[in-house]
Each structure stands twice: as C-alpha cells, then as structure tokens.
C-alpha cells in the first residue's frame, strides 16, 4: 500500500513571479522544523496506473490548517486505496478513477465504508459515489473519434434529457423507472413540438383563407 507523505507549502513568489512552493525559506524554522505561522499543509500519495498501464499523477491535496488534518485526509486516501488487494489491478484502477472523479466534483474523497461495501458485494466501487452526470462526462470525453454531427447529437441528448432528469442520481441507485422517465420526457417534448406545429399550420391556413371569406361575404 502506498504510504504517502505530508508537507508544507505556501503561495510566496520569487522576483520573477514564480511560486516558491516548498522552497520558501519561511516554511521552516532555524532548527529545520516546520514553521507554525507560514504556509498550509498538503499530502501526496501515489495512485494506481491508468487501464493502459500509463502512470497517473500522484494525488496531491492541500490547504489544511494543521498537520493532523492533512494526516487524517491522507489516512482516508490510504484506506480507499487499500480496499482492493494488490493483485486486483482492475479494482485498484476503479478506486483510483473514483477518487479522481469525486475530488473533481466535490473536492472531497469518497466514503471508504461505502466503497468497501460495494467492493465486498462485487459491485463497481465507483458506482457507490459517482452520479450519472459524472459518468456521462467521462463517457462523452471518451468519444473522441465521432463525426461532428454525431458528437453534437450526443451532447444535445445528454444536456436536454439525461442531465435534467437523472444526472443527480448515483449509479448504484439508478432504476429502470428513472431511465423510463427520460423517454417519457422525450415523448412529452415531441408531443409539444407536434402541437405547436399543428397550431402554426392552422393559423397559417386561417390567415390565407380570410381574403376569400371576405369576398364570399361581399358576394352574399
């Protein structure tokens, strides 16, 4: 299991405007100990590789006021990464994906207990926390070789139907009735479009016939 590290960092900049980060002299006292008045705490831990075997960037998160806060968050990250056994590469990759998605969406780590329960039941650990909206983002991002028209069509369906109706639902709580509601919404939208078109057609017909009606009235 990855051990991870904690460290301090600040937003000070050098004469060229570059951030000093961990190199700021004010971060440490004369005896080498961390300063209690300058900088905030961060942690870093290695993540499993991507499915294709390429290396992920380490998980780095900071802004913690105390060392204990950073250590507590690091311990939670270690607990998550330890849920899948070292030999379960697929499980470790799923958990790494979940961590990155959760942090992007909420700036918080997933709940280790919920992920552990999903893994024990043989479910995708990511489904314990990831919403339909987050999975749709990932799905659309993976569609890189589509024709422009197809890509626009997919994006429109996601934006108009899936996000508004089921985007907030977690994947592990998605039910057939939820998906059915999307198709009901599509049917309602199509019916509304049909009614508007019919209304415009009738209005146009009345407008075009009105001069004839006027002539008929005169003839009478």
> How far is residue 68 from each of residues 8, 71, 108, 112, measured CA to CA in Å?
12, 5, 17, 19
Residue 40 has pLDDT above 90, yes or no: yes
- Cα 77 to Cα 29: distance, rounded to the nearest angstrom: 29
For residue 104, give both structure tokens. 């992007």
pLDDT of residue 209: 41
pLDDT tens digits, one per residue of 41-62? 999 999 988 888 889 999 999 9
CB atoms within 10 A of CB 170: 16
pLDDT of residue 216: 37
Residue 212 has pLDDT above 60, yes or no: no
Q: How confident is the model at residue 218 (pLDDT cuts 50, 70, 90)?
A: very low
Residue 185: name the closest of 157, 155, 165, 209 by CA.
165
Question: For 162-166, 170-174, 207-211, which range has the lowest pLDDT when averaged over its residues?
Answer: 207-211
pLDDT of residue 124: 66
- Cα 27 to Cα 209: distance, rounded to the nearest angstrom: 85
pLDDT of residue 88: 84
pLDDT of residue 114: 79
Contact indicator for 43, 71 with CB cutoff of 8 Å: yes
Residue 23 has pLDDT above 60, yes or no: yes
Rg of the chain over all Cα atoms, to the nearest angstrom: 28
pLDDT of residue 55: 92
CA 64, 10, 34, 44 torsion-angle sign: positive
Residue 214 has pLDDT above 70, yes or no: no
pLDDT tens digits, one per residue of 113-129? 878 877 776 666 665 56
The DSSP 8-state label assigned to residue 4 in this structure reads -
Predicted structure pTM score: 0.57
Give mean pLDDT, residues 191-200.
82
User: DSSP labels for 63-88?
Assistant: EESSHHHHHHHHHHHHHHHTSS-TT-
- Cα 8 to Cα 23: distance, rounded to the nearest angstrom: 10
Question: For 140-149, 166-175, 183-192, which range has the lowest pLDDT when averaged over its residues?
Answer: 166-175
| The Cα angle at residue 30 between residues 29 and 36, in degrees rounded to 5 | 10
pLDDT tens digits, one per residue of 130-170? 778 878 888 888 887 888 888 888 888 888 888 888 888 87
Contact indicator for 41, 16 with CB cutoff of 8 Å: no
Q: Residue for token digits 């030999």?
A: 87
For residue 114, the SS3 value is: helix
pLDDT of residue 35: 93
For residue 110, give both structure tokens. 């997933």
pLDDT of residue 108: 86
Residue 193 has pLDDT above 90, yes or no: no
Instruction: Tell me the average pLDDT of the chain.
Output: 82
């Amino acid at each position: 299991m990855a051990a991870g590290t904690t460290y301090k960092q600040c937003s000070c900049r050098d004469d060229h405007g570059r951030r000093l980060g961990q190199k700021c002299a004010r971060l440490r006292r004369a005896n080498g100990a961390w300063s209690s008045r300058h900088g905030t705490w961060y942690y870093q831990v290695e993540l499993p590789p991507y499915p294709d075997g390429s290396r992920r960037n380490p998980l780095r998160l900071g802004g913690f006021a105390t060392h204990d806060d950073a250590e507590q968050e690091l311990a939670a990250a270690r607990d998550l990464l330890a849920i899948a056994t070292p030999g379960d590469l697929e499980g470790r990759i799923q958990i790494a994906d979940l961590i990155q998605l959760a942090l992007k969406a909420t700036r918080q780590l997933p709940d280790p207990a919920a992920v552990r329960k999903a893994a024990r039941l043989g479910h995708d650990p990511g489904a314990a926390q990831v919403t339909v909206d987050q999975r749709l983002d990932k799905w659309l991002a993976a569609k890189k070789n589509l024709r422009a028209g197809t890509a626009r069509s997919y994006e429109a369906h996601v934006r108009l139907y899936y996000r508004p109706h089921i985007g907030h639902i977690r994947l592990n709580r998605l039910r057939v009735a939820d998906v059915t509601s999307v198709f009901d919404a599509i049917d309602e939208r199509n019916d509304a479009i049909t009614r508007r078109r019919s209304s415009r057609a009738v209005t146009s017909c009345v407008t075009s016939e009105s001069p004839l009606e006027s002539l008929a009235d005169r003839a009478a």
